[in-house]
Amino acid sequence: METVYRDYAPKGVKFYYIYKALAHPETNGYITPFTLDERLLHVQEAERTLGSDIPWICDTMANDLKHALGDAPNSEFIIDPQGKVAVRRSWSKPAELRSDLETLVGAVDRPTTVADLNMKKSERPKVAKTGVVPRVKMPGQMQALRIDPAMVSLEPFYVKLRAEAESNVPRTGKGRLYLGFHLDPLYDVHWNNLAAPLTFEVKTSDGTNISPSSGAAPKVEAESDGDPREFLLDIDAGRGEDSFEVTVKYFACNDKEGWCKPVTQQYTVHLEVDRDGGNARRGGQPAAGGNRPGRPGPAGSPVAGNRLMGMVSSVDVESRIVTIRTRDGGNREVFVPADVTIRRDDRAAKLSDLERRNRIMIELDGDKKDEEGRPHAKQLMSRSS
Q: Into how many domains does the chain fold?
A: 3
Nearest Cα neighbor of 203 from 135, 134, 263, 150 is: 150
* pLDDT tens track for 10-53: 999 999 999 999 988 998 889 999 999 999 999 999 988 888 88
For residues 156-184, give the mean pLDDT.
Answer: 94
For residues 194-222, give the mean pLDDT.
Answer: 95
Which residue, 285, 316, 345, sits at the end of a domain?
285
Q: Where are the beta strands (DSSP E) in 108-242?
A: 142-149, 159-166, 174-183, 190-192, 199-203, 209-211, 214-216, 224-225, 229-236
The pTM of the full predicted model, rounded to 2 decimals, is 0.73
Burial class (CB in 10 A: 0-12, 13-18, 19+), 219: exposed
pLDDT at 329: 67
In a domain? residue 296? no
Residue 308 domain boundaries:
304-383
Lowest pLDDT segment from 255-259, 296-300, 368-372: 296-300
Residue 218, domain CATH: 2.60.40
pLDDT at 284: 52
Tell me: do 188 and 270 sit in the same domain.
Answer: yes
Tell me: do 6 and 102 sit in the same domain.
Answer: yes
Tell me: do 281 and 150 sit in the same domain.
Answer: yes
* Helix and strand element counts for the chain (H, E): 5, 24
Tell me: do 279 and 350 sit in the same domain.
Answer: no
d(C-alpha 320, C-alpha 337), whole Å: 7
pLDDT at 294: 34
For residues 77-105, give the mean pLDDT.
Answer: 93
Sorting pLDDT into bands at 50, 70 and 90, what band is 245? very high
* pLDDT tens track for 123-151: 778 889 999 999 999 988 889 999 999 98
In a domain? residue 126? no
Cis omega (within 30 of 0) for bond into 212: yes
Tell me: do 239 and 155 sit in the same domain.
Answer: yes
306 DSSP assignment: G
For residues 323-343, give the mean pLDDT.
Answer: 85
Would you tell me how many other CB atoms lie within 10 Å of the CB of residue 157? Answer: 23
For residues 325-348, give the mean pLDDT.
Answer: 84
Would you tell me how many other CB atoms lie within 10 Å of the CB of residue 194? Answer: 12
pLDDT at 328: 63
pLDDT at 292: 36
Tell whether the model's pLDDT for residue 59 goes beyond 90.
yes
Sorting pLDDT into bands at 50, 70 and 90, what band is 370? confident
**Highest-scoring range by mean pLDDT, 74-78, 153-157, 330-334:** 74-78
Nearest Cα neighbor of 323 from 356, 353, 346 is: 356
Which residue, 72, 101, 116, sits at the end of a domain?
116
Tell me: do 153 and 103 sit in the same domain.
Answer: no
* pLDDT tens track for 155-166: 899 999 999 999
pLDDT at 94: 92
Tell me: do 53 and 179 sit in the same domain.
Answer: no
Tell me: do 41 and 174 sit in the same domain.
Answer: no
CA angle, residues 225, 226, 232, in degrees to nearest 5: 105
* pLDDT tens track for 265-305: 999 999 999 989 988 877 654 444 343 333 333 323 334 45
* pLDDT mean across residues, the chain: 88
Strand partners, 100: none
Tell me: do 158 and 209 sit in the same domain.
Answer: yes
Tell whether the model's pLDDT for residue 122 goes beyond 90.
no
d(C-alpha 115, C-alpha 183), whole Å: 36
Residue 379, domain CATH: 2.40.50.320
In a domain? residue 121? no
Phi/psi-derived region of residue 198, left when phi > 0, alpha when psi is between -120 and 50, beta in every other case: beta
CB 5 within 8 A of CB 101: no
d(C-alpha 114, C-alpha 112), whole Å: 7
91 DSSP assignment: B
d(C-alpha 9, C-alpha 177), whole Å: 48
Radius of gyration of the chain (CA): 23
In a domain? residue 293? no
In a domain? residue 316? yes
pLDDT at 300: 30
Burial class (CB in 10 A: 0-12, 13-18, 19+), 371: exposed
d(C-alpha 151, C-alpha 296), whole Å: 41
